[in-house]
Amino acid sequence: MARWNERIYRKQSPVLYCLETELLPYGKALRYEYNSQGLSRILSTDKSGKHTYASITKIRDHAYVGSDGREAKYHYETFEVKVKAKLKKVKESLSFKTPILTQACNPTYTNSMQYNERSLLSHYDAKEYPVSFAYFQQKGFVARVQRLNIPSGSVVFSYDPPIAGQKDGWTRAEYENGASIVYRFDQNLLLIAIENWYEGELVNQKTFNYTTKQHIQRIETRDGVGNLLIAHTYECGSEGNALLEKLALFLLGEPLLQEAVYSEKKEMMD
């Protein structure tokens, strides 16, 4: 059985193809039906298509009904995006209008969204749990989240982004209680460490090592002074899926449980 998705397309015209079937691992499939207005229905079936497990059908613009009879609605508003551009050494102000999702609801709950002047998500409310975002406003830079506000408090973010092939980078999340988490990335844009800090002191860290093919090879957990606590070592298949995991536990840097080995069948044979 394949470990990946296989997509089958139907040719509509010399330049247009429609996704018709998506064959999933373990004998399942997603099937897509169309009408003159576009995608009209999605079905979850077995590989042969004889048995349907669930479906979603479009009943009108931005409204859908599931096979369980529950309906979901999406509300869009027109948003005007304004930009300034330099065309042939002349600065011009341009604008265009685009639909933007502001509400999604079903019989259980309603989600609502608001956006800032750059069309970036600024407020999100799901099940009366409001979340808001503030962004860095530096010109010429990617708009990154500066502050995340949730009912229980806020998180402040800072960044030194990695540059592919040139330098490592990091992202820091700081909490109101004095705790912070630092995520470190290498110049291949791979996550190499997660560090937990409290009031300026390193509490513990988790490091990630990869093979030359960028497959995960080893994950280590250490305390704040560098003592090894837990080590996971992986053997991966050609696709990067972990086939074998070896676990070792340590106490004060000394082996406590040496190489407790277990195997998980991640890859299914045809």
pLDDT class of 2 with cuts at 50, 70, 90: very low
> Which residue has better confidence, 127 or 207?
207
Per-chain mean pLDDT for the chain? 89
pLDDT class of 145 with cuts at 50, 70, 90: very high
Average pLDDT value for residue range 3-17: 87
Residue 174 lies in a domain: no
Query: Within 13 Å of residue 100, how many CA atoms lie on the same side as its CB?
Result: 19
Residue with tokens 């065309």: 87
Domain count, the chain: 3
Claim to verify: residue 8 and residue 57 sit in the same structural domain: yes
pLDDT at 266: 43
Identify the domain boundary among 69, 86, 115: 69
Do residues 235 and 253 lie in contact, with contact meaning Cβ atoms separated by under 8 Å?
A: no
Claim to verify: residue 259 and residue 248 sit in the same structural domain: yes
pLDDT class of 3 with cuts at 50, 70, 90: low
Task: Collect all residues with Cβ–Cβ distance below 8 Å to 7 and sequence separation of at least 6.
Answer: 19, 21, 22, 23
Residue 137 lies in a domain: no
Claim to verify: residue 47 and residue 14 sit in the same structural domain: yes
Claim to verify: residue 65 and residue 1 sit in the same structural domain: yes
Asked whether residue 5 carries a pLDDT value surpassing 50, the answer given is: yes
Give me 81's structure tokens: 């995006």
Domain assignment of residue 25, given as a range: 1-69
Claim to verify: residue 46 and residue 79 sit in the same structural domain: no
Phi, psi (deg, nearest 5) at residue 25: -60, 160
Claim to verify: residue 81 and residue 58 sit in the same structural domain: no
Got the DSSP string for 90-133?
A: EEEEEEEEEEEEEEEE-SS-EEEEEE-TTS-EEEEEETTEEEEE
pLDDT class of 237 with cuts at 50, 70, 90: confident
> Which residue has better confidence, 142 or 50?
50
Claim to verify: residue 97 and residue 49 sit in the same structural domain: no
Residue with tokens 């309906």: 71
Burial class (CB in 10 A: 0-12, 13-18, 19+), 116: middle
Do residues 218 and 193 lie in contact, with contact meaning Cβ atoms separated by under 8 Å?
A: no
Smallest CA-to-CA distance from 148 within 180, 122, 129, 110 is with 122
Question: pLDDT per residue over 28-58, tens digit each?
Answer: 999 999 998 899 999 999 999 999 999 999 9
Average pLDDT value for residue range 204-230: 95
Residue with tokens 């705790």: 179
- Report the alpha-carbon distance of residue 61 to residue 90 in Å, rounded: 41
Asked whether residue 269 carries a pLDDT value surpassing 50, the answer given is: no
Residue 192 lies in a domain: no
- Report the alpha-carbon distance of residue 166 to residue 31 in Å, rounded: 43
Asked whether residue 270 carries a pLDDT value surpassing 50, the answer given is: no
